[in-house]
Structure 1
Amino acid sequence: MNQRPTASIQYALFTAFAFSGFSGLIYEAIWTNYLKFFLGHAAYAQALVLAMYMGGMAGGAWLAGRYMGRIKNPLLAYVIVEIAIGLSGLLFHKVFLSANGFVFDTVLPGVDSPMAVELIRWTFAAILILPQTLLLGATFPLMSVGILRAFPDTPGRSISMLYFTNSVGAVVGVLTSGFILVDAVGLPGTIMTAGLTNLALAVAVYGIQKKLFFFSSAPASQGGSSPLLRPMLLVALITGLSSFIYEISWIRMLSMVLGASTHAFELMLSSFILGLALGGFWLRKRIDSYKDPVVALGIIQLLMGLLALSTVLGYNELMKIMSALYGALQPSDAGYLMFNGSSHIMTIVVMLPTTFMAGMTLPLITLVLFRGGAGESSIGRVYAFNTLGAIIGVVLASTVLLPLTGLKNAVIVGAALDMVLAIYLLGRSGNNRTWRGAAIGMMGVAIIGTYIAPAFDAKWMSSSIFHMASKASPDSLEVLLHRDGRTASVDVIRDGRNLVISTNGKPDASYAPAEGDTPSADEPTQVLLGALPSLVSPQAKTAAMIGMGSGISANVLLANDHLAQLDIIEIESAMVEGAKLFGNASSRVFSDPRSHIHIDDAKSFFAAHKRRYDLIISEPSDSWVSGVSNLFTTEFYKRMRRHLSDDGVLVQWVPTYGNSPILVSSVMQALGNNFADYRIYGPTDSVMVIVAKADGKLPELSGQAMKNPAMAAAMARVGWSSLDDVHKHEIGRREFLHAVFSASGAPVNSDFFPFVDQNALRAKIVRTRNGQHVDILHLTGIPLPGANYMGTIIESDNKRSGYYLPRKRSEDGRIAARYFAGGAKTAMPSQVDFGVLTTLQNKPGCEDPVAQNGWQAALLQFAGLAIPNTSMEEVKPAIAFLRAQLCSASEAETNRAMLDLMEALSARNPPAVEAAAKTVLSHTKTVQSDTKGYALNALLLSLYQQQKWEEIQHTLKKLPGSRSILATVVESHAYLNLKKK
């Protein structure tokens, strides 16, 4: 005997559908990432990927609704669909890799037309996800109809609960995949997790449906033609359109408030969906009691539009609030959690009121049609039309409204659509003329009031919270340009004496335009990025540059007369507008016929054009910005190899500010695994510029390009008057440094295991240096000759000091050496206190340990400045003078040993350095801790030069303590070399 299904069975199905939402949002996020690797990250690509995904969902929902009358057991059909989705999730990564290899290695090389290349890539992309998205789209109508047949008395409540549970699952899916799964198991493991969830879900629902009585019954009435069908489907389409205009606009607005990191996007998306979920939940107990759900729907649409307008009125205060919060954070893991928590609260405050209303619209539309006789098929149709509207909203907002009207007006357009719907819905009932009139009045007042309200403050929008947290107010800024582009909002501001160009509030480049003004902090990096390619490959004819920035780097590169062509690939056209404001510093980019600007994603451009270049220069934004870390992965570097000529060179910008050594190691392993040789330069103390060659050894720098007056002038502006000045900024070479990166414990940064993307924001906020890993830039601060070189570590080459103020430090080293050698004493070395030199001029008392210790400390400071920056001939008289200051008593033996060590270092003699350093370290009672550290570094350096790997390990075990950067480097080499044996 059939029994009526219990409420527990209904709740079990609701719970199952929550897990369906969990896996569904994982698929959306992960498929989007996969297809970006396939198609690129251009604005149209992002919009079309989302449109393709949602289009498949709409098609699946429509097909399920169309054929619902023929399905006797919707829940069994649902089980079959979930099994198919789950199996596709388990196989997707392997299928993607095969398709990607086939397309890029077999199909595209034989295609000449760029348009044909695009068509092929989009066709394969559609084939990859369309079957699964059709299946995902079918799940909602199948589950809905299955529950409605079992529980026909409360259709509104059932539909509301289904939207609620599915949306709650989606919120959990977004946050779990973004913060946990991708970091733990990468993209392949995350999508497999979703597939396993679908299979487990299929098993659970199969067991539940066997307990229900209604499968032997005929399907519920499918209904016929309803006069409400077309109007309500149009309402579903328009409300979907307006909702996604809001979403795209809010994401852009909040990106400038929260920082445009990957996790910021996840927090925003989860807040958007949470509002939809809570709206459906609130409605569940009320919906079936509405006598006229059309009126309720009209009121909700009106409130939705009004609440959306309110989000732009308080926007100017959001940046101030978040900047204050960020400035108060402690640089710790707790601060990182607090930042994410505050960010989530901020997104909820902005999005939830409006999306709460949006969450009630589809249940009401579906109920109106269900009561009106449209039947079960209406469920799939409503879902399909709403999704189609969302697709239109995404494309309209990203390609038309934001670029042409700006953020504020885009939200106003969305709100106007909702309120026009409200007026239409309220007007359908003759008893609601008062409501309709009130709606018209409120719409007019709200839109006009919002339009004439103060505009978004461009000064705050142009300065991210990370930049403004240290400032009381941006009032001193002068905004020269603000553009809401298709992919980002771009600003050019005057900040004091500097011009600054920024994307989504994050400064990307700066320039001091005044004649004779001191260069900005960014200019050495920008100049080196443009000059270094010509110094390492002076005969290069073709070049590609990824990223426009201020245009200064490209402008410097174009000063090379040998260059025949430069392709600049910039994803955002507004960035090009901004670069024009940098005047003469970027003028060649726009006037030189060799310069060609392409508005495209880098991967998309290279795949479509299939050119090979002598030079490729990559200067993307910071790695913590969403999507940018994909330009620091092993797959990216492998792809760049394909587009370099046989002797081609890659020049890569890598930031270390706001970054951690472990993340830098991850990037450098990705690069080093694909390029046979590289060198790292440090134009400033927070940036690395890498020059790399795919095969063979990099040539030494050539000064040929510096004979060009324009190139020479650009370099002289930032203090590089000769090739020697560039040499001094070299941090190290592959053969010396790659062992450190390999032994760091960092995984290789990959598209599919995005270590940098997952951890960059944490590193930026925590702002700490983990002692287990090496900050390579600090190698150049070790006061030993050539501490950052392999093969030239003890070489007699005093031109390579490896210091960020190299020329000044070299000058000071020579001045200090001459000070004790009878040279001119009119000039004082600025990097050594006068008291140090005075102390060394006087003989310390032999029986006075305090005087000997003071003299030892002064000697160490002198050694750190003079020895790395002078030749043996230059420093030898000074050492002789200092020896004469010491007496023969035993109290002076440590200082005498230090002078022996200095002499051995100045002679670049590894065995002598080893012996002298051991002697210093043997004076355990009189050697000071700083002197001991200096001697230990010198000993390790000499052992490294002599390749005494076992003795390096023995020394570090015998003398435990805090590891210096050099010790970490040398220890890594010892470990790897002994491992080979």
Structure 2
Amino acid sequence: MPAQLISFLVGLLSLSAETLWVRTYAFANQSTPIAIAVVLSVYLLGIARGASVGGGFCRTSANLREIVAKCVLAASAVIALTPAFIIALPRIPLLLLPLIFAPAFLLSICFPICHHLGTKLGTGHVGKSLSRVYAANILGSVIGPLVTNFVVLERVTTQMAFIILGALGMCIAVAIALADRLNSSIKQMVLAGTAFAFGLTFVFGAGQASTGAQNQLIAKLSTRDGEIRHVVETRQGIVVTYKDDVAGDAVFGGNVYDGRTNIDPRINSNGLNRVIMLQAITPTPRRVLMIGLSVGSWQYIIGGFPDVERMDVVEINPGYIDLARNYGAQNKAIHDPRVNLIIGDGRKFLRQNPDAKYDLVIMNTTWHWRMYVSLLMSREFLSLIKSHMTPEAVLAFNTTESIDALKTAAAVFPHVYRYDNFAVAAETDWRVRLADKAASEKLRLIAPAGKPLFGPRDGDVVADFLDSSHVQTLDEAEIKIGRPGEIITDRNLITEYRYGRR
């Protein structure tokens, strides 16, 4: 087999495995920014050490193609067995690091060998032959993640993706052994390993039909204990719901709490009061923008606001939409004829629709310490939202107790106050409307799917939702947390790093 082709396939396998590990390790560590850095660091260490060992083989061994076949076979076996290893190991993220290191190390042994085999000395074309081996590796390194993300992870679970990639690697090892006429013992070893890979793929593949088998890897890496109701995996991420027949199923996106399926304000296990009270402070919310659907509980409630004529809902992960279809009320809400459901990025949507104006904007923002969340909380993005708001419009988003998110909103809007952990921003002081005598009646007009949200005996619940004890000024919030807030920008990433979760 040509050295350039081997170099291409090694790059494809290596970077595909890294892609799966970024997804897996980030999930295990609740999508904190440090997770990607850890995977990249361990992978680079593996590459450096493997290249050093491979260079040594080039100087001392005459059976370089056998070494390549063995290394590809061993790396592929580790990749294929990764889900089984994770399921068997204690739930300690650091124990995953050797599994990340091993395939990077083994496959990188092949890289200098490919250069050694593919470089034509004494022909006057050393540079050309060397560059072709290198270019082939880069091409494989680019194609691998693209295929893994946009093809494999669109069709199978993360667990199955490891098995498929490992099986592919073992097939490559067989091809190297057969194409290069290696001795019979090497061929037998590689063929036996490949038979094992296909057997493993069949066993795990058949197991995907049962929910228990499908959830083994995710259940092991999950930070929450309990019975899993649903798992939805897309290339954008992993969403899980945990069974809770009292408070509503708990929704976890990227292994962190993301809401509940509860739609009963009397239970209020998911802070529905923060959304419900927006009906009282928004004069006439005819056109609504929601960024972040989650399972759709908030959308169900807002759909019951009597003045709503149109609702644009932007969700970047289609897995949430698939999840919402499993719950009756939420499924009805996403099929409401007034709803325009957009799969994509909120910032991109707003830039592509510069003339769109909204009376109410609500963002279902994830935890402030997760990767990329600054793109939703930054001064630049809040300013973009403001340019799409009508003069009396209201913006509400979850700060997840971040004083910096509240401070940033106050740098963009003249009137910003915190309602529980929501930042609620407007051009006018919305607290006046919260205290208005008509506020209680406005809440009683909410009727999702035509069903009144509150009954005659819910006066105390309504009064509590409108109580000023929920409201806090920026100064009060800064005193409570013990430091002044800082302004989040697209570049400083302070919520993810400086004040992020360690």
Q: Same fold by TM-score, threshold 0.5 exceeded?
A: yes
Aligned AA (1:755): I
Tell me, which stretches of 5 or more residues in structure 2 are unaligned? Answer: none
| Aligned residue in 1 for 2:6 | 235
Q: Does 1:655 align with 2:400?
A: yes
| Aligned residue in 2 for 1:275 | 46
- Structure with larger Rg: 1
Contact 1:510 1:520 in 2 (8 A): no
CA–CA distance in structure 1, aligned partners of residues 385 and 479 of structure 2: 24
Q: What displacement does 1:245 show? A: 1.9
| Aligned residue in 2 for 1:422 | 173
Which string of whole-angstrom CA distances, capped at 9 and with x for unpartnered residues, describes residues 49-94 of structure 1? xxxxxxxxxxxxxxxxxxxxxxxxxxxxxxxxxxxxxxxxxxxxxx
Q: CA 1:500 to 1:413, structure 2 compared with 1: closer, same or farther past 3 Å?
A: same
Contact 1:511 1:520 in 2 (8 A): no
Contact 1:463 1:505 in 2 (8 A): no
| Aligned residue in 1 for 2:129 | 378
Contact 1:679 1:730 in 2 (8 A): no
Q: Residue 376 of structure 1: SS of its match in structure 2?
A: helix
CA–CA distance in structure 2, aligned partners of residues 631 and 354 of structure 1: 36
CA–CA distance in structure 1, aligned partners of residues 80 and 60 of structure 2: 30
CA–CA distance in structure 2, aligned partners of residues 548 and 652 of structure 1: 12
| Aligned residue in 2 for 1:835 | none
Aligned AA (1:758): Y
Tell me, which stretches of 5 or more residues in structure 1 are unaligned? Answer: 1-227, 323-342, 469-473, 657-663, 683-687, 766-981
Contact 1:527 1:715 in 2 (8 A): no
Q: What displacement does 1:306 show? A: 1.2
| Aligned residue in 2 for 1:625 | 370
Aligned AA (1:261): T
Q: Does 1:501 align with 2:251?
A: yes
Q: CA 1:489 to 1:649, structure 2 compared with 1: closer, same or farther past 3 Å?
A: same
Q: CA 1:464 to 1:297, structure 2 compared with 1: closer, same or farther past 3 Å?
A: closer
Equivalences for residues 362-761 of structure 1 within 5 A: 362-371=111-120, 375-453=126-204, 458=215, 461=218, 466-468=223-225, 474=226, 477=227, 479-495=228-244, 497=246, 498-512=248-262, 519=267, 521-522=269-270, 525-529=271-275, 531-584=276-329, 586-610=330-354, 611-656=356-401, 664-682=402-420, 688-693=421-426, 695-698=427-430, 700-701=433-434, 702-703=438-439, 705-708=442-445, 710=447, 713-714=452-453, 724-728=463-467, 730-732=469-471, 734=473, 737=476, 744-761=483-500
Q: CA 1:346 to 1:604, structure 2 compared with 1: closer, same or farther past 3 Å?
A: farther
Contact 2:306 2:447 in 1 (8 A): no
Q: Residue 7 of structure 2: SS of its match in structure 1?
A: helix
Q: What displacement does 1:705 show? A: 3.1
Contact 2:250 2:257 in 1 (8 A): yes
Contact 1:542 1:563 in 2 (8 A): yes
Aligned AA (1:290): S
CA–CA distance in structure 2, aligned partners of residues 405 and 380 of structure 1: 36
Aligned AA (1:605): F
Q: Residue 507 of structure 1: SS of its match in structure 2?
A: strand
| Aligned residue in 2 for 1:5 | none
Q: Residue 385 of structure 2: SS of its match in structure 1?
A: helix
Contact 1:416 1:443 in 2 (8 A): yes
Aligned AA (2:447): A
* Stretch moving more, 492-501 or 389-398: 492-501
Q: Residue 381 of structure 1: SS of its match in structure 2?
A: helix
Contact 2:249 2:261 in 1 (8 A): yes
Q: Residue 177 of structure 2: SS of its match in structure 1?
A: helix
| Aligned residue in 1 for 2:56 | 285
Aligned AA (1:697): D
Contact 1:462 1:506 in 2 (8 A): no
CA–CA distance in structure 1, aligned partners of residues 71 and 285 of structure 2: 64
Q: What displacement does 1:574 show? A: 0.8
Q: What displacement does 1:528 show? A: 2.6
Q: CA 1:736 to 1:307, structure 2 compared with 1: closer, same or farther past 3 Å?
A: closer
CA–CA distance in structure 2, aligned partners of residues 484 and 315 of structure 1: 18
Q: What displacement does 1:321 show? A: 2.2
Q: Residue 48 of structure 2: SS of its match in structure 1?
A: helix
* Stretch moving more, 572-581 or 447-456: 447-456
Aligned AA (1:706): L
Q: What displacement does 1:645 show? A: 2.0
| Aligned residue in 2 for 1:259 | 30
Q: CA 1:385 to 1:283, structure 2 compared with 1: closer, same or farther past 3 Å?
A: closer
Q: CA 1:448 to 1:644, structure 2 compared with 1: closer, same or farther past 3 Å?
A: same
CA–CA distance in structure 1, aligned partners of residues 56 and 384 of structure 2: 56
CA–CA distance in structure 2, aligned partners of residues 512 and 666 of structure 1: 29
Q: Residue 272 of structure 2: SS of its match in structure 1?
A: helix
CA–CA distance in structure 2, aligned partners of residues 563 and 594 of structure 1: 8
Which string of whole-angstrom CA distances, capped at 9 and with x for unpartnered residues, describes residues 115-154 of structure 1? xxxxxxxxxxxxxxxxxxxxxxxxxxxxxxxxxxxxxxxx
Equivalences for residues 902-941 of structure 1 within 5 A: none
Q: Residue 361 of structure 2: SS of its match in structure 1?
A: strand
CA–CA distance in structure 2, aligned partners of residues 437 and 293 of structure 1: 18
Q: Residue 154 of structure 2: SS of its match in structure 1?
A: helix
Aligned AA (1:415): G
Q: Residue 495 of structure 2: SS of its match in structure 1?
A: helix
CA–CA distance in structure 2, aligned partners of residues 633 and 264 of structure 1: 22
Q: What displacement does 1:371 show? A: 4.6
Which string of whole-angstrom CA distances, capped at 9 and with x for unpartnered residues, describes residues 280-336 of structure 1? 122333322222422322222112211211212112234x422xxxxxxxxxxxxxx
CA–CA distance in structure 2, aligned partners of residues 425 and 271 of structure 1: 27
CA–CA distance in structure 1, aligned partners of residues 459 and 107 of structure 2: 60
Contact 2:296 2:334 in 1 (8 A): no
Contact 1:409 1:451 in 2 (8 A): no
- Paired residues, what number? 485
Which string of whole-angstrom CA distances, capped at 9 and with x for unpartnered residues, describes residues 329-383 of structure 1? xxxxxxxxxxxxxx4x334222111111121122111111115755222232222
Contact 1:275 1:359 in 2 (8 A): yes
Q: What displacement does 1:233 show? A: 2.1
Q: CA 1:234 to 1:450, structure 2 compared with 1: closer, same or farther past 3 Å?
A: same
Q: Residue 758 of structure 1: SS of its match in structure 2?
A: coil
Which string of whole-angstrom CA distances, capped at 9 and with x for unpartnered residues, describes residues 152-179 of structure 1? xxxxxxxxxxxxxxxxxxxxxxxxxxxx
Q: CA 1:674 to 1:280, structure 2 compared with 1: closer, same or farther past 3 Å?
A: same
Over the matched positions of the two proteins, sequence identity in percent amounts to: 17
CA–CA distance in structure 2, aligned partners of residues 459 and 444 of structure 1: 24
Q: What displacement does 1:490 show? A: 1.4
CA RMSD of aligned residues (A): 2.9
CA–CA distance in structure 1, aligned partners of residues 359 and 499 of structure 2: 31
Equivalences for residues 32-431 of structure 1 within 5 A: 231-318=2-89, 320-322=90-92, 343=93, 345-371=94-120, 375-431=126-182
Aligned AA (1:288): R
Q: What displacement does 1:720 show? A: 6.3
Contact 2:265 2:272 in 1 (8 A): no
Aligned AA (1:519): I
Higher relative contact order (CA 8 A, sep 6+): 2
Contact 2:28 2:223 in 1 (8 A): no
| Aligned residue in 2 for 1:914 | none
Q: CA 1:521 to 1:729, structure 2 compared with 1: closer, same or farther past 3 Å?
A: farther
Q: Residue 239 of structure 2: SS of its match in structure 1?
A: strand
